[in-house]
Amino acid sequence: MADKRMSLDDLVGELRSGMTIGLGGWGSRRKPMAAVRAILRSDLTDLTVVSYGGPEVGLLCAAGKVARAVFSFVTLDSIPTDPHFRVARQTGAIESTEIDEGMFYLGLLAASQRVPFLPTRAGLGSDVLRVNPSLRTVTSPYDDGEELVAVPALRLDAAVIHVNRADARGSGQILGPDPFFDELFLGAAERRFVTAERIVDTDRLTSEGPIQTMCISRLLTDGVVETPRGAHFTACVPDYPRDEEFQMAYVAAAGDPDRWVAFRGRYLDVDEAGYRAATEAFASEGAGSAAPGTPSREVVK
């Protein structure tokens, strides 16, 4: 029986520059941040990032890792937009593929089901078709004759999702209220990785939550990494909520080059253990500290 446990370095070692990589979660919720931080420390570059975007998209853009972003939105939820992503778009630093949220879902579903496209009304009449000139419509072969958008399969070279629990063979358990589209990210990808708050014995999973929470089967995973607080600073309920103070610190630092250098040095140019230590120190400093990356509500506005 295959043991799929690996380290973050092993995971990053499976990725190559130029790949199309899907990242699970939604907005600033249950993002595979530990894996993203490992990508930030690597020499990977020229990536196409496919995501219901949150801060990971901004961080990857700021580090120059992104050639193209495929997105419907990039948001921090409690803060409408990501500052680094805004700059990347406004300076023309990245190429963009912007599609409707439902089209995104159907693209992943088509790739998972190994069909070339799936039809939908979503996109008709909108500028999604104008800014993606390669998108085509398809006419129903039946009597209705409807003309619909043919959403092409969104095939991924690799995908990474973050879950609450997993076992060593790569079955994943999502204990929060929404599994988002994580299963489809894995289904759409060639190389499939799950990071988890905790890796537990398989017979523990049913005592962690009901069967419906065990929604990632090992049919969909090639590797599993234990990454405690691996979604921080995004939400990973019920293990922890979004770290709003830290997210504000991220946004404040991103708006100022000197503070960004300090933020990077303290939180990103360190390994995962160093990140956890630094964020714990940040939390114990509390509001009003003069440390780098201290939340500034002015900047957030």
Residues that bind another protein (CB under 8 A): 26, 53, 71-75, 80-81, 85-86, 89-92, 96, 98-103, 105, 120-128, 130-131, 146-148, 177-181
- How far apart, in whole angstroms, are the C-alpha atoms of residue 171 and residue 224? 9
Nearer residue to another protein within complex by CB, 6 or 148: 148
Beta strand pairing status for 66-71 and 20-23? Answer: unpaired
Shortest gap between Cβ of 140 and another protein (angstroms)? 9
SS3 of residue 110 by DSSP:
helix
Nearer residue to another protein within complex by CB, 102 or 228: 102
Shortest gap between Cβ of 78 and another protein (angstroms)? 12
Shortest gap between Cβ of 186 and another protein (angstroms)? 14
Given a contact cutoff of 8 angstroms between Cβ atoms, the answer to whether 130 and 158 are in contact is no
Beta bridge partners of 21: 49, 158
Shortest gap between Cβ of 23 and another protein (angstroms)? 15
Nearer residue to another protein within complex by CB, 14 or 98: 98
Nearer residue to another protein within complex by CB, 10 or 178: 178
Given a contact cutoff of 8 angstroms between Cβ atoms, the answer to whether 172 and 165 are in contact is yes
Nearer residue to another protein within complex by CB, 152 or 223: 152
Shortest gap between Cβ of 139 and another protein (angstroms)? 10
CA distances from residue 289 to 78, 117, 233, 283 in whole angstroms, order as listed: 22, 52, 19, 10
Shortest gap between Cβ of 241 and another protein (angstroms)? 11
Nearer residue to another protein within complex by CB, 44 or 214: 214
> What phi and psi, each to the nearest 5 degrees, are found at residue 8?
-60, -40
The residue whose two tokens read 């990536």 is 47
Q: What is the DSSP letter of 126?
A: S
Q: Is there a cis peptide before residue 85, judged by omega within 30 degrees of 0?
A: no
- How far apart, in whole angstroms, are the C-alpha atoms of residue 22 and residue 278? 28
